[in-house]
């Protein structure tokens, strides 16, 4: 099949590459000429485990092309995916200017039947808006399908190649057939394509992300309670997670969720709800809890240093919003950095993949170290903001040698409380007894 993917970011590049991997001919379109130039030259633009190998293979085989020219990029396509940004607008709703802008441009270009697929996360009713935007300039036949993407950064290739399910919102038999054909190779183990109407498909994506964000905020509230009641959230988590109605995943407390999806999608669903006269109260609380949680460690840090941190210097491990990605959008680490800098402290940081992105934002306002241990010199304490695997069993002797004080504030509960206490550290984590 001939596929076009418009928007070559995290979703577009993974989708395009994975569609090429099963033999389709894929052209990815992006307005960013530097990005397209790099990709054409065989340089991958995001860090995503396993992606580079597939990308290079399909580039070499000629199944994966890149262009900035939309008309050229969609010329032969059977299916055109829109994997464009839908950032929060000023009022919190998803801004559709990229999606509708491209839809209008497509109307000027199309001259035959195609399926246009909304892969971006878009509010209910967007498929109709895309249809209308295309139809402003094109009177021929086409279908608009909603096919939200559920991949997770960090395991995106696996998620795409072996999805738990594929949701396809369409009422067109022709589009349904093409989408079934396209996704067949990814669902060989029997996971379903779930067909539905466009509106339900659009809402499914927001409901999924909002539910997961709710689970995280719920556990963060349980962790708060544990700290106040002398319980251990790790034990409570295991106690409830083994109930299959609850499940083990997404029960880890920490310093809040970030990323390009949960914060904006929860906010957008609250906004969409209010537009139809519904007050989605649970989600408002989910957002409130998360805002507070991002700075959960700050009071303990201030209090350890006698009430203020002006003039203190901190080592910070982890910048990405979660491990195995270089994505720093809405990363809790950045909220911590802002708080520390605004209170007169200084920061030396390390992240295995996200430092270039953070450097672009902070320049020389913070120091970037070559490895985790280089952050520790002259640091008053170590703070951990992302649970990269390489931080899980560090060389504690090296930490002790370099840190000024044996103090760790851990926003991701990486270490065993007893073990680290035995090493003589003052150790603060989230929802566990050492905080008492």
Residues annotated as catalytic are 261
- How many residues touch ligand NAD under the rule CB under 6 A: the total is 26
- What whole-number distance in Å separates Cα of residue 237 and Cα of residue 249? 10
Does 260 bind ligand NAD (CB under 6 A)? Our answer is yes
Nearer to ligand NAD, 138 or 321 (CB): 321
Question: In this structure, what DSSP letter does residue 143 have?
Answer: E
Nearer to ligand NAD, 260 or 429 (CB): 260
Of 1, 2, 22, 31, which lies in the binding site for ligand NAD, with binding defined by CB under 6 A?
31
Across the strands, what pairs with 14? none
Nearer to ligand NAD, 118 or 227 (CB): 118
Question: What are the distances in angstroms from CA 134 to CA 141, 143, 199, 413?
Answer: 10, 10, 18, 49
Question: Which residues have a Cβ under 8 Å from the Cβ of 70 and sit 6 or more positions away?
Answer: 6, 29, 102, 105, 106, 109
Contact between 99 and 86 (Cβ < 8 Å): yes
Nearer to ligand NAD, 8 or 224 (CB): 8
- Reference 80, options 115, 111, 107; nearest CA is 115
The window from 29-37, 49-57, 210-218, 275-283 that contacts ligand NAD (CB under 6 A) reads: 29-37
The window from 79-87, 123-131, 294-302, 340-348 that contacts ligand NAD (CB under 6 A) reads: 79-87
Does 158 bind ligand NAD (CB under 6 A)? Our answer is no
Does 106 bind ligand NAD (CB under 6 A)? Our answer is no
Nearer to ligand NAD, 101 or 184 (CB): 101
Does 233 bind ligand NAD (CB under 6 A)? Our answer is no
Go through 416-427 and write b for each residue having 16 or more CB atoms within 10 A of its CB, e for each that does not. Answer: ebeebeeeebeb
Strands 381-384 and 313-317: parallel
Smallest gap, in angstroms, from Cβ of residue 247 to ligand NAD? 21
DSSP H or E stretch at residue 3? strand 2-6
Region at 413 (left for phi over 0; alpha for psi -120 to 50; beta for the rest): left
Smallest gap, in angstroms, from Cβ of residue 10 to ligand NAD? 4
Across the strands, what pairs with 28? 5, 66
Does 7 bind ligand NAD (CB under 6 A)? Our answer is yes
Sheet holding 193-196, edge to edge: 64-67, 25-29, 2-6, 79-82, 115-118, 143-146, 166-169, 193-196
Of 80, 102, 106, 175, which lies in the binding site for ligand NAD, with binding defined by CB under 6 A?
102
Contact between 383 and 316 (Cβ < 8 Å): yes
Of 17, 58, 67, 121, which lies in the binding site for ligand NAD, with binding defined by CB under 6 A?
121
Of 3, 10, 134, 324, which lies in the binding site for ligand NAD, with binding defined by CB under 6 A?
10
Sheet holding 367-368, edge to edge: 367-368, 346-350, 313-317, 381-384, 407-410, 426-428
Q: Which residue has the CB atom at the shortest distance from ligand NAD?
A: 9
The window from 2-10, 129-137, 278-286, 290-298 that contacts ligand NAD (CB under 6 A) reads: 2-10
Nearer to ligand NAD, 32 or 232 (CB): 32
Smallest gap, in angstroms, from Cβ of residue 12 to ligand NAD? 6
- For binding to ligand NAD (CB under 6 A), which residues are involved? 6-12, 29-32, 35, 83-86, 98, 101-102, 120-121, 149, 151, 153, 260-261
């Amino acid at each position: 099949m001939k596929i076009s993917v418009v928007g070559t970011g995290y979703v577009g590049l993974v989708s395009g590459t994975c569609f090429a991997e099963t033999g389709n001919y894929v052209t990815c379109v992006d307005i960013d000429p530097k990005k397209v130039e790099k990709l054409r030259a065989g340089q991958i633009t995001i860090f995503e485990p396993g992606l580079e190998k597939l990308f290079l293979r399909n580039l070499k085989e000629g199944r994966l092309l890149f262009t900035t020219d939309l008309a050229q990029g969609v010329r032969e396509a059977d299916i055109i995916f829109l994997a464009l940004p839908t950032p929060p607008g000023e009022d919190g709703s998803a801004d559709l200017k990229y999606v509708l802008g491209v839809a209008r441009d497509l109307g000027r270009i199309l001259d035959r039947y195609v399926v246009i697929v909304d892969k971006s996360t878009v509010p209910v009713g967007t498929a109709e808006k895309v249809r209308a935007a295309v139809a402003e300039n094109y009177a021929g036949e086409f279908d608009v399908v909603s096919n939200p993407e559920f991949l997770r950064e960090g395991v995106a290739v696996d998620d795409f190649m072996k999805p738990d399910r594929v949701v396809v919102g369409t009422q067109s038999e022709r589009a349904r057939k093409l989408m079934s054909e396209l996704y067949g190779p990814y669902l060989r183990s029997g996971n379903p394509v779930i067909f539905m109407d466009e509106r339900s498909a659009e809402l499914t994506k927001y409901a999924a992300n909002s539910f997961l964000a709710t689970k995280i905020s719920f556990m963060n509230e349980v962790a708060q309670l544990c700290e106040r009641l002398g319980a251990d959230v790790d034990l409570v988590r295991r106690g409830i997670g083994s109930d299959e109605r609850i499940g083990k995943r997404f029960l880890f407390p920490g310093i809040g969720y970030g990323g390009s999806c949960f914060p904006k999608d929860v906010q957008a669903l609250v906004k969409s709800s209010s537009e139809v006269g519904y007050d989605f109260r649970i989600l408002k609380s989910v957002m409130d809890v998360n805002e507070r949680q991002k700075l959960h460690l700050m009071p303990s840090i201030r209090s350890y240093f006698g009430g203020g941190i002006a003039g203190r210097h901190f080592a910070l491990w982890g910048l990405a919003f979660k491990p195995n990605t270089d994505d720093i959008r809405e990363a809790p680490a950045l909220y911590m950095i802002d708080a520390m800098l605004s209170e007169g402290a200084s920061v030396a940081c390390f992240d295995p993949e996200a430092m270039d992105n953070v450097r672009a934002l902070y320049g020389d306002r913070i120091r970037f170290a070559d490895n985790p241990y280089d952050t520790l010199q002259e640091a008053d304490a170590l703070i951990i903001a992302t649970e990269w695997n390489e931080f899980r069993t560090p060389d504690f002797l090296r930490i002790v040698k370099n840190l000024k004080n044996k103090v760790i504030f851990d926003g991701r509960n990486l270490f065993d409380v007893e073990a680290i206490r035995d090493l003589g550290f003052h150790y603060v984590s989230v929802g566990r007894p050492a905080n008492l």
